[in-house]
Structure formats: structure tokens, C-alpha cells
Chain A
Amino acid sequence: MSVNNEFKPKIVAFCCNWCSYAGADLAGSSRLAYPADVKIIRVPCSCRVNPMFILRAFEKGADGVIICGCHPGDCHYSTGNYYARRRMTLLFSMLDYIGVEKGRARVEWVSAAEGVKFADTMNSFVSKIKDLGENVRLGDIRCKN
């Protein structure tokens, strides 16, 4: 595979403002590289992430969606990530059930101190999505051109 044809996945990362977004900032200030395919959207809490947002990202051509929040027990709002965890577990289970490849969407808990974990997580997620290849099962064909 030549460099030019290399699959450049589109990846949306929803990061909670208090932990993961700060973790991403720390990854940046520590100069810990991860692929530019990852684009971060700041949300107040992982519990703000609506399944509609995730499906919308896939609809519009995202190849992978990752939601990052505070570790369970550490939520800035005390309980938000617990709700997020249930919601995302069910949503991912449904995606699996209708035949979407396992691993296209992921949840990771990254604290503000875990710059290394943030970069590692993004590296591993991007590599997973590259293995899975382009998202063809959950996109809207009209957005492909």
C-alpha cells in the first residue's frame, strides 16, 4: 500500500471537559503524539453525549467514535459517567447486534493526569479503526461523495 492511498480514518472524540479534555491537553503539553485523524469535541460530561451524536457522526462519514470521560467515581458531576456507561454499553451492544463491527465506537476513562493514557488510547483506537477499515455499514451513502 502506498503512502498516498493509505486509509485516513475520520475519528470523532467526545471528551469531558474536566478529565479527558484536560488529559488531551496534558498529552499535548507533554508532546505525546497521536494521529491527526482524531478530532476532539469538548462536552461538559460524558453524560452529555447523546447516542444521536454518535450515530450522526457515523452517518456523516466518521469511521470511529470514541467517548472519553472521568473514571467511574471521579465524575465532576459525581454520577454523569455512570449514566454514560450504561447508555453507551447498550448502544454499542445494539450496534454489534445489527452487524456493525465491534470496536467502531469505544468508551475510555481518562483522567486529567493521564496524558500518556490519552495518547495511548488514541493511538490504539486509530490503529483499531485502521484494521476495521472504512465504515460502510453505518454511513449515509449521500455523504460519501
Chain B
Amino acid sequence: MQRIGVFVCHCGSNIAATVDVKKVVEVIRSEPGVVHAEDYQYMCSEAGQERIAIAVKEHKLTGIVVCSCSPRMHETTFRKAAERAGLNPYMVEIANIREHCSWIHKDINEGTEKAVILARAAVAKVNLNTPLYPGESRVTKRALVIGGGIAGIQTALDIADAGYEVDIVEKTPSIGGIMSQLDKTFPTLDCSACILTPKMVDAAAHEKIKLYTYSEVEKVSGFVGDFTVDIRKKARYVDADKCTGCGLCQEKCPSKKTPSEFNRGLGNRSAIYTPFAQAIPNVPVIDTDACIKFKTGKCGLCQKVCAAGAIDYTQKDEIVTEKYGAIVVATGFDTIKLDNYDEYAYNQSKDVITSLELERVMNAAGPTHGHLERLSDGKAPKEIVFIQCVGSRCSDDRGKPYCSKICCMYTAKHAMLIRDKYPDVNVTVFYIDVRTPGKNFDEFYRRAVEQYGVNYVKGQVGKVIPQPNGKLLVQGSDLLDNKQILKEADMVVLATAIEPNKDVRKIATMLTASIDTNNFLTEAHAKLRPVESPTAGIFLSGVCQGPKDIPETVSQAGAAAIKVVGLLAKDKLMTNPCTAHADELLCNGCSTCANVCPYGAISYEDKQVNDHGIRETRRIAVVNNALCQGCGACTVACPSGAMDLQGFSNRQILAEVDAICR
């Protein structure tokens, strides 16, 4: 049985005016467990806290109820006071008789009666309180960034600049990501490579950053502060230490017919290749599917020409195991496949291209060396049609329900660049809405319309029909003029929806990070914790969390980095003791609790139990206290009642219910 002291605060007249505090003290004395009750002017004052300390000693109190203002105000104060008096801080409960009582009830009888009931409920709860102790876990001061695009690079740089080790795992042979494929960037029109390449170099040169390119995360275990990650370094067949990056191997390679990933398949590359000239690291890889040596055993030309002797056909995949305190997901995006959109004739005509392909066409290092030309016949187009929202804001399941966010702006950019360089080319943009909420965005778009004479048509395109003369007949509607439009175009550019990188689901599963129905990673709180995953220690950077442009990506990358730094700066993590735990004799091991846990805090172990003489091995839920945040979702999902929440246990809440309904 507890020995409970009840302390009723007057809060000046805030409480005492509408609650007869003396009466509350008197009535509460006869509650089971209560051995002491008193009232005081201001319990939260130093003198008030001192009274608690004295009473704890005098009456050998084991539990405390403070009837005062909201626990959101002073629960911590009184817990600390209790701790100073030698009690466990979690032996304190607050009855909120100010905000929930005295301030809203005018009648003193009514107020007093309710205050007594609230006090009684708190006493009933304390009767079942047990001392709770926060746990501690260590922090490995090293971070992992998955994905080496601009998001990952920026996050890594910021973490490294703060003085912490950070590794980037990038699955392609080079860091740089989609941004490296872009020609110019809006709204300033500076060259993408010019601003990205220095960052790539910085990352590669940073003494705190380690790059794992052509590598993938294979396995993740552990939890916040203490993750263990297996990284698969795929065999490059080129010794990175020996390679000088001279490029001779690529030049001599006889197999040059593989579509270049970097050029979105619009050009070819050799079997041994670096994706693009500025690739970092500047070390090629051999594509074994294309390599003649690997396919037939003959050739070996690259090995012969390599003066450094870096080519090694015997190289094997390597698994590296590293420890990390925090993991940042920066897996980025890709454009959707257009198989569901036959009406745009993407698969029928080479002159229907996606906007990202147009980036490559416009780029000096691209397949057309920067000349705007039709990919079918190399002729210069005179009439270009842009179609917006291809697969974005889609109400059926052909596309995506969300707005891809960047398309309006890059289309304005494309239109403007074309009109600038080729003033004789007509540009028409079919759109649903033009969305330009960003700094200097709307001005940018208006320049396209007003200064460059881009023809914006509000309306959707129903069909693009390739004509025998090589032109493309675009059937659209103009909603503002309420008329059908038929336009013969030389090129059609599709603002294709973006979607999270297809690997994200696999990665999210490894990390027990949640993802939404569109495969975007879920943030811990949509507004207040946008760069954190609900799973502690997992952070989000860039488009893996939702569509965003470069400036937004970079700022989010920085935000994720500071969250990581905040975590790595700690030597130890104190865990909230109000966590769930499973009674191993009651647990069925059914996994229902794990299915509702937003933090991936529940795992299962085969444990040897002794259930009143029955010894057997059972599958039992184990809660990781470092991950559990104490929401209690699992406690209700659990049918047997095995899962309970410390500090808000089933029996404690029921005791409060009983006390109120008495």
C-alpha cells in the first residue's frame, strides 16, 4: 500500500476562489492510501516545494498528488521536487484543478466537488504507480547518408562540417544524382553542373566524408544511436586506387551500344564507363551485361590499354559493415513510366520526350551537343508543345494523385530558354494550373509569358497523333476560350510526374521507417518534425519525403543535418521511461502490436519462458525502449493485455475511471 501525500494549491485565488481547498484536503484524507494532506498558497513556489520535501520525510510518503494547475505547466517542477526529497519522480501525479476546474466553474460547491473527484482519481492512479527509471543508450558518432544526389551531398557536407564522420552510400557509379543531369536551374538559369560539381568535389575531398559509390545498403539492424549497417560494394572490376581516370579504357572499349543512363537512354555509352565526364569518383565500372570479356571471355582490351593496371576482372562484391548513430535517407526520385499514357504517343514517336530528356537534349554534353533538334530526323523544330501534369494530380490509378511541384517551373524555364535561343520556334504550354509559389517564381513565369511570348493554354491534351509527314498532331482544349485546339507540332515535351526512387520501399523496410501510399517516406510530424522519420534516428532529406525543388531540397538537407548533429552531439541518449513493455507470460507473439507501432520499436524474440511450471520457447514481443515514444497504440492492439504502457498502465487508467464514476 502506498503512503500518499496530497498537496492542494490555492494558486493565490486562482484556485481558492472557486474551490474550497480546505474541504478538498479534508475529504481526500479518507481516501485509501492517503496518509497526509495539506493546502498551501503556492505549491510551485520554493516554499511550497519545501513543504513537499518535509512531508515526504515526516510521513514517509511513497507517492504524491499535487492538486494544482495543469501538469503541462508544473509536472516537471513537482517531479524534480519529489526527486530532491528522495522519491522517484514518477511517483507524482497532478490533479488539474485550475484549468480543468476552478477557472471554468463559478459555483464554489460545484468546483469543490469536482476538485475532490479529480484529486481522488489522481490518488487512485498514484496507488498503482511504480518507480520508473529512464534508460540510457550510447551514440555512435558517425552518420550514414543513403543517396548521393544533391540532398545527400548537402546533408553529408553539413554534418561533416560540424565535425562528425559521415558516409554516403550511392548505388550508381557516381554521386550527383538527378541534378547532374539538369542543364540549367530555375529561377536563376545558372548551369546545374556549375553549381553542383563544386559540391561533389567538396564531398569527395572532405576528410570526414567517405563515399561508397556503386554500393547499396544491404541490411540494417540496431536503433537510434547504434545502427549496424551492411553495405554491399558492388564489384567495379576497376581498382579505384590504381585508376588514374585517364578514360582510355572507355575510348578503346569495342562495346559502345549500351543506352546511357545519364543521357536518359538518348545516347550510348561503352561497357566500361563513367556515367558522365565530371563523375566522382572518376573511376569507371564495367557493365558485365555489355562487356564482351564477361560475355564471351574474349576481348580484354581495356585491361591491355590500362597503363595503371587497374582493370581487374576477378573483383568480387564486398560487404562492409559499419556502425552509425544516425541514418539519413536521401534516395531521391525518378520520373514515372509512361506506359499508361498511350494517348501522348511517347512510345510511338521519338519526338515526344519527357522534360528530363529535354534537359539532356538542351545540354551541351548531351546527345545532341546542346542543339535543339528532333530526335527522329535531326531537324530543327519550329513548333513545340509542352504538356503539363502528365501523371501528376491524377484522379485515377494511371498516375499519381499528388502535384509533382517542380514541373511548372522547369517548363517555364525550358520554354524561356528555347525562345531565347531559337526565337523562331513557337512554344505552347498546355496546363491545368500554373503553380509558382516560391521566391521569384511567379516573376519567372510571367517573364516567360510576357517577355518571351510563350503561349500558355489552360486546358488538357487529349491525344497526340503522329502524322505521316513526321509532325505530331496535338488535340487539346482551351478551357478559357472554351474551344478545341488542333496543333501540328514538331516536338512534344511531357512534364512527367516524379515518384520516389523505386528502391525506397526496400530501404524503408530495412529501416522500419514508414512510407505513405505513394511511397514517400513519412515524416514524424507533418508540420513540426518534417525532416525526421517516426523511427528514431532516421532522418529524411530531399524528394524521398515529398516533391521539392533544389532550394527546398538543400534547405531540408541542412535541416536533416542539424537534427543528425544534434543527435550525434550527445554521448548518451536518455530514454523516456513511459514506454510500452510486454508481459512475456501473456504475449502471444502475434505481431499485431508491431503492425501498429509507428516507430518500429517492437521486435520478436524466441524466448525460453517458465509459465507456472510450463517451460517452453515462445515468440515474444520485445520493446526497444530507445525507440518507443509511449503512444500506447500497441497496448490496445494487443488482445491479451500483454502489452502495457508504463506511467499510463491499463490498471492506472481504469483506477481513474473508477474513481471518477464512483
Does a CB–CB distance below 8 Å link A and B in the complex?
Answer: yes
A residues contacting B by CB (< 8 A) are 10, 12, 17, 21-22, 24-29, 31-34, 36, 39-45, 47-53, 56-57, 60-62, 73-74, 76-80, 83, 87, 119, 143
Report whether A47 and B631 are in contact in the complex, using a CB–CB cutoff of 8 Å.
yes
Taking A28-B100, A77-B633 as known contacts, 14 extra A-B pairs with beta carbons closer than 8 A to each other, sorted by chain A number, are A12-B657, A21-B72, A25-B100, A27-B104, A28-B70, A39-B114, A40-B96, A47-B632, A51-B636, A52-B650, A60-B657, A77-B598, A78-B523, A80-B632
Within 8 Å CB of B660, what residues of A? 10, 12, 39, 41, 57, 62
Given contacts A31-B104, A78-B522, A57 and B632 within 8 Å (CB-CB): no
Does B99 make an interface contact (CB < 8 A)?
yes
Report whether B636 and A83 are in contact in the complex, using a CB–CB cutoff of 8 Å.
yes
Contact of A143 among B633, B653, B661 (CB under 8 A): B661
Residue of B nearest to A47 (CB): B633
Given contacts A39-B118, A50-B636, A56-B657, A28 and B103 within 8 Å (CB-CB): yes
Measured CA separation A117–B629 after assembly (Å)? 28
Q: Which of B105-113, B392-400, B420-428, B619-627 contacts A (4 or more CB under 8 A)?
A: B105-113
Report whether B648 and A43 are in contact in the complex, using a CB–CB cutoff of 8 Å.
yes
Residue of B nearest to A17 (CB): B72
Does B578 make an interface contact (CB < 8 A)?
yes
- Near A by CB (< 8 A), chain B positions 596-637 give 596, 598, 629-633, 635-637
Distance between B66 CB and nearest chain A CB, rounded to angstroms: 14
Measured CA separation A107–B633 after assembly (Å)? 16
Band of interface residues on B: 35 or more
Given contacts A56-B658, A78-B598, A28 and B99 within 8 Å (CB-CB): yes
Within 8 Å CB of A61, what residues of B? 661-662
Interface string of B76-114 (1 = CB under 8 A from A): 000000000000000000001011110111110011011
Distance between B116 CB and nearest chain A CB, rounded to angstroms: 11
Measured CA separation A41–B117 after assembly (Å)? 11
Residue of A nearest to B107 (CB): A36
Contact of B631 among A25, A32, A80 (CB under 8 A): A80
Distance between A26 CB and nearest chain B CB, rounded to angstroms: 8
Measured CA separation A79–B660 after assembly (Å)? 29
B residues contacting A by CB (< 8 A) are 70-73, 96, 98-101, 103-107, 110-111, 113-114, 117-118, 121, 514, 522-527, 534, 578, 596, 598, 629-633, 635-637, 645, 648, 650, 653-654, 656-658, 660-662
Report whether B522 and A45 are in contact in the complex, using a CB–CB cutoff of 8 Å.
no
Report whether B534 and A78 are in contact in the complex, using a CB–CB cutoff of 8 Å.
yes
Contact of B650 among A33, A50, A76, A80 (CB under 8 A): A50
Contact of B100 among A10, A24, A43 (CB under 8 A): A24
Report whether B654 and A53 are in contact in the complex, using a CB–CB cutoff of 8 Å.
yes
Within 8 Å CB of A39, what residues of B? 114, 117-118, 121, 660
Contact of B104 among A34, A45, A76 (CB under 8 A): A34
Distance between A125 CB and nearest chain B CB, rounded to angstroms: 15
Distance between A63 CB and nearest chain B CB, rounded to angstroms: 9
Residue of A nearest to B93 (CB): A42
A-B contact pairs, 21 of them (CB 8 A): A12-B657, A12-B661, A25-B72, A25-B73, A25-B99, A27-B99, A28-B70, A36-B113, A39-B660, A40-B96, A41-B656, A48-B636, A49-B636, A50-B650, A53-B650, A53-B657, A77-B633, A78-B522, A80-B631, A83-B637, A143-B661
Measured CA separation A28–B202 after assembly (Å)? 55
Distance between A43 CB and nearest chain B CB, rounded to angstroms: 6
Within 8 Å CB of B110, what residues of A? 36
Contact of A36 among B70, B114, B637 (CB under 8 A): B114
Report whether A43 and B121 are in contact in the complex, using a CB–CB cutoff of 8 Å.
no
Report whether B578 and A44 are in contact in the complex, using a CB–CB cutoff of 8 Å.
yes
Measured CA separation A120–B645 after assembly (Å)? 31
Residue of A nearest to B113 (CB): A36
Within 8 Å CB of B106, what residues of A? 33
Given contacts A40-B96, A48-B648, A49-B636, A77 and B631 within 8 Å (CB-CB): yes
Distance between A78 CB and nearest chain B CB, rounded to angstroms: 5
Within 8 Å CB of B654, what residues of A? 52-53, 56
Contact of A45 among B96, B98, B101, B631 (CB under 8 A): B631
Report whether A28 and B98 are in contact in the complex, using a CB–CB cutoff of 8 Å.
yes
Given contacts A10-B660, A32-B104, A39-B121, A77 and B526 within 8 Å (CB-CB): no
Report whether A44 and B104 are in contact in the complex, using a CB–CB cutoff of 8 Å.
no
Measured CA separation A128–B514 after assembly (Å)? 40
B526, B633, B648, B658 — which one has the most chain A CB atoms within 10 A of its CB? B633
